[in-house]
Amino acid sequence: MPDAVAAPAPEGVAALRPFALFLFAYYAQVGAFAIYATLFFAARGMSAPQIGVLMSLIQVMRIIGPNLWGALADHSGRRVAVLRLTNACALLAFGGIFFADTYFQFIAVMVAFNLFSSAQAPLAEALLLAALRGDATNYGRVRMWGSVGFIVAVLAAGWLLEALGVQALPSIALFLLVCVGASGLLIRQAPLVAHAAGAPGLWSVLRRREVIAFFVSAALMAGVHMSLNAFYSLYLERAGYSKPVIGMMWALGVLAEVAFFYFQAPLLRRFGARKVMMCAFAAAAVRFPVIGAAGQLLALLALAQLLHAATFAAHLSSSVMVMQRWFAGPLQARGQALYMSLAYGIGGTGGALAMSLCWDKIGPQAVFYLAGALALAAAGSAALSFRWQRQG
């Protein structure tokens, strides 16, 4: 486990601002496109199972993209150059959506775009963790700007789409991708730190039972949140809510997320990663069934959105702290890539496909009941991981 270090000195704070700007732009693009893409695809004539497949491709390509580009970044040592390359290629690939018309054409665009965009967040966060010199408790103060960007974009896009129509979504997302590429030009790589020759290799880390249990838990929790990423906007729209209301509901959840990220350092130092993570699972087991049962009760839906601070932000921050025990230094980019691939790639893909079947065969509410059950399974796997970590 890396030695704890102090927060960045004041002269180092300026070096973190480009990361905040990049994460703001990146998650603004995610908020504008991914949250409303289900509505866009539905307007283009796609069925619920087809939408589920298209949205699952975001997760499928997270199995491939982050590992491909993360390995290149770690082996070459040129992480910033690889980040900029993925930014440019993602922008070019996304342009194909303006010419797509059929289901299989949309599949081709989603595969090409997400092959590159899936690597952007893990590469940026690996660079950020290197700049923080391993002190993950301060991660949230920078990462929260991604959440702020998400809120701004979701609200703005909701109003724009209400005024211009959902067909304007690709143009909005393209503009934000240009902003992502521009902000990536400001990021600088921290000097690489030499590590002991005897440091464990990637595969020796991945074979540990506590690491396997951790990634199983993370994959299940990513599957839980696919109920939101793939179906929440469509669920609210079919319940009769307008696009601005849908945007405000998303923003409410992300505001709670920002609040946690801002205060995470003292919370994690006081309670530790294990307690924070287990609380996140408990909150998820309550939050998602409530969403399924309270589709017509806006006040309850709003309260459930506030639990996003726990189910997403607390889980992510505690996961980053746990991963620093195993993946640091020369494994930094690949560790972040593996988290993206195994959790959001495999877990997100499986979750999206299972929930699309639930939506089609049982009904929209079943999606969120399944998410609650997956949260309980994730808690059990995480408990095993922490138990084995203590024994090790």
- 328-357: per-residue pLDDT in tens? 656 656 676 677 777 777 787 778 778 888
Q: Is the pLDDT of residue 239 over 90?
A: no
5: in domain: no
Residue 95: inside a domain: yes
Predicted confidence at residue 7, as pLDDT, reads: 43
What is the average pLDDT across 296-304? 91
Mean pLDDT computed over 154-171: 89
pLDDT-derived band of residue 244, with 50, 70 and 90 as boundaries? confident
pTM of the model: 0.73
Instruction: Write down the pLDDT at residue 9.
Output: 44
- Domain containing residue 165: CATH number: 1.20.1250.20
What pLDDT, on the 0 to 100 scale, is given for residue 177?
95
d(CA 53, CA 38): 11
Q: Is residue 320 part of a domain?
A: yes
The whole-angstrom separation of Cα 38 and Cα 56 is: 11
pLDDT band at 21 (very low <50, low <70, confident <90, very high): very high
User: Could you report the per-residue pLDDT of 312-327, keeping only the tens digit for each?
Assistant: 889 988 888 888 777 6
pLDDT digits 0-9 by tens, 36-58: 898 899 899 888 778 878 887 88
**CA–CA separation, 67 and 334 (whole Å):** 6
Residue 6 has pLDDT above 50, yes or no: no
pLDDT at 284: 95
Rg (CA), the chain: 20
3-class SS shares of the chain: helix, strand, coil, % to 5? 85, 0, 15
Residue 136: per-residue pLDDT:
60
Question: Is 1 contained in some domain?
Answer: no
What is the chain's mean pLDDT, rounded?
83
221 in a structural domain: yes
Q: Is the pLDDT of residue 120 over 50?
A: yes
What is the average pLDDT across 9-25?
Answer: 76
Q: Is residue 6 part of a domain?
A: no
For 75-111, letters b (16+ CB in 10 Å) and e give eeeebbebbbbbbebbbebbebbeebeebeebeebbe
* Residue 88 pLDDT: 94
Q: Which residues, at least 6 apart from 299, have a Cβ–Cβ distance to it below 8 Å?
A: none
pLDDT band at 111 (very low <50, low <70, confident <90, very high): very high
The verdict on residue 246 lying in a domain is yes
pLDDT value at 226 more than 90: no
Closest by CA to 305, choosing from 374, 354, 373, 259, is 259
As for how many domains the chain has, the answer is 1
Angle at the Cα of 304 from the Cα atoms of 383 and 343, rounded to 5 degrees: 40
pLDDT of res. 151: 82
Domain of 336? Answer: 12-192+200-391
Q: Is residue 2 part of a domain?
A: no
